[in-house]
Amino acid sequence: MECGADGPGVSGRVTAGQAADWFRSCYQAPPAGIWRAPGRVNLIGEHTDYNDGLVLPFALDRDLIVVGSRRADGVLEVRSRQAGGAARALKLAAIAPGRVSGWATYPAGVAWALRSAGIAVGGANLVIDSDLPQGAGLSSSAALACATALALTGLYGVAVPRTDLAALARTAEQEIAGVPCGIMDFCASLLGQPDHALLLDCASGAHEAVRLPLDPAGLRLLVIDTGTRHALADGRYAQRRQECERAAHTLGVRSLRAVTRESDLAGLPGTLRARARHVARENDRVRAAVLALRAGAISELGPLLTASHASLRDDFAVSWPQADIAVAASTGAGAVGARMMGGGFGGSVLALVPLADETTARAAVAAAFADHAWAAPSFLVARPSAGASRLA
Ligand code: ADP
Ligand code: MG
């Protein structure tokens, strides 16, 4: 069988069996193991992670799968069906910041971060397949890094605590892929639990599972991919981070987490005050969301989501026209709340919708996009699911 990119699993959902078949066709040998890591949705707590704040993500029921085996020559060979299927071979000893390009920076970065931390992993053949859309704000990059981290440590039989793996996967994305990301995505992918969100304190690393039983509440979380794409590596995300740092510095605090009262912000100039206000209020919204969930009042998340969106649009200035329209159209058609997700300037909107209104809400968003002559949005039902695991 040909080892090409157009075998089974090109479209639709990925399965471990299909990915393993592809591995066998590439290497004429069975794999030593199969691992999966999910993408994530952040329920609430946006642009708080790098401000030592609170976030409330959950792992998605969409995975990136890594099928692998060891190799003895110190080479990491990676292929991804989503990247055309061609092999990229990298000498582990030559991986360093600035030395790898393209999507292979993620698996290469993980190998580099693990080895730099003294964790004895070596060469491997890794074959990757995924049903996570890329650049849609569902953290396909973290899924790739986390699945690779599990695969390499699994292949070499080293046990690393999940919180350490999350930190190392983050280091990989920061140092080798050059993306100034926070810890949230990696924790969500590695620590997620079915029907739970993960309350994560980005200052201390403390985390706690919070029940999020959507089906019994008759609710759905709908991810609306607006079709516009973000690039975290572009200047605007970095600019927001710098603005937050400047605001903290001006206030004489280590991070904006220290802001607890709005009166604390009085000394800041207008733009910085607005940025800091978003962060402080967003932390409060995460706290309120957790209280609502603990009280079993899931629909109370709705107004919090919509308030988060308004704050990201007006104070933090990271929304984009398609997101504003998707929020307005969905909440106008039954959604109890909606907000943009992710870094901003593109990606997806998250809407909390009663089951009975889901069809109407989808149609309203699609109609609003058609009115603007924008490409049709796509929809995905987000189910809080299990974190990364070994499948075989
Ligand atoms: P997001 O994490 O929101 O999906 P990013 O821009 O952070 O968006 O990450 C997307 C990048 O991650 C892709 O450009 C690619 O480099 C890498 N990536 C994600 N999934 C895959 C995959 N299945 N195969 C190869 N590379 C992938
Ligand atoms: Mg990413």
Residue 7 confidence class, pLDDT cut points 50, 70, 90: very low
CA of 58 from ligand 2 middle (Å) equals: 15
Question: Alpha-carbon torsion 70, 73, 76, 77, what sign?
Answer: negative
CA atoms of 233 and 177, how far apart (whole Å)? 9
Asked whether residue 2 is domain-assigned, the answer is no
CA of 232 from ligand 2 middle (Å) equals: 8
Q: Tell me the ligand closest to 344's alpha carbon.
A: 1
Whether residue 254 is predicted with pLDDT greater than 90 in this model: the reply is: yes
- Tell me what pLDDT residue 101 has: 94
- For residue 317, the enclosing domain spans 212-382
- Regarding whether 373 and 235 lie in a shared domain, the answer is yes
Please give the tally of structural domains in the chain.
Answer: 2
Tell me how far the alpha carbon of residue 381 is from its chain's centroid: 15
Helix H or strand E encompassing 350? strand 348-354
CA atoms of 274 and 317, how far apart (whole Å)? 9
Q: What are the residues whose beta carbon lies below 5 Å from ligand 2 (ion)?
A: 139, 141
Q: Tell me the ligand closest to 107's alpha carbon.
A: 1
Q: Which amino acid is at 164?
A: D
Whether residue 269 is predicted with pLDDT greater than 60 in this model: the reply is: yes
Catalytic annotation present for 21: no
- Tell me what pLDDT residue 233 has: 53
Pocket lined around ligand 1, Cβ cut-off 6 Å: 64, 80, 82-83, 103, 106, 128, 130, 134-141, 144, 232
Percent of the chain with pLDDT over 90: 89
Choose among 238, 235, 217: nearest CA to 384. Answer: 217
The CATH number assigned to the domain holding 46 equals 3.30.230.10
Asked whether residue 274 is domain-assigned, the answer is yes
Most confident of 133-142, 188-197, 339-348: 188-197
DSSP 42: E
Asked whether residue 78 is domain-assigned, the answer is yes
CA-based R_g, the chain, Å? 21
Q: H helices of the chain, where?
A: 16-27, 105-116, 140-155, 162-175, 184-191, 235-251, 270-294, 301-314, 321-331, 358-371
Percent of the chain with pLDDT over 70: 96
DSSP 94: G
Strand partners, 29: none
Q: Which of 52-56, 123-127, 235-239, 374-378 has the lowest mean pLDDT?
A: 235-239
- Tell me what pLDDT residue 232 has: 56
- Regarding whether 275 and 166 lie in a shared domain, the answer is no
- pLDDT mean over 248-261: 96
Q: Name which residue sits closest to atom 6 of ligand 1, judged by CA.
A: 135
- Tell me what pLDDT residue 231 has: 64
Q: Is the separation of the CB atoms in 319 and 298 below 8 Å?
A: no
- Regarding whether 256 and 190 lie in a shared domain, the answer is no
> What value does the mean pLDDT of the chain take?
94
Residue 5 confidence class, pLDDT cut points 50, 70, 90: low
- Regarding whether 123 and 21 lie in a shared domain, the answer is yes
CA of 92 from ligand 1 middle (Å) equals: 21
CA atoms of 3 and 24, how far apart (whole Å)? 9
**Backbone φ and ψ of 107, nearest 5°:** -65, -40
Asked whether residue 252 is domain-assigned, the answer is yes
- pLDDT mean over 278-307: 98
- pLDDT mean over 307-315: 98
- Regarding whether 229 and 194 lie in a shared domain, the answer is no
CA of 103 from ligand 1 middle (Å) equals: 7
Q: Name which residue sits closest to atom 12 of ligand 1, judged by CA.
A: 141
Asked whether residue 4 is domain-assigned, the answer is no
- Regarding whether 186 and 136 lie in a shared domain, the answer is yes
- pLDDT mean over 50-68: 97
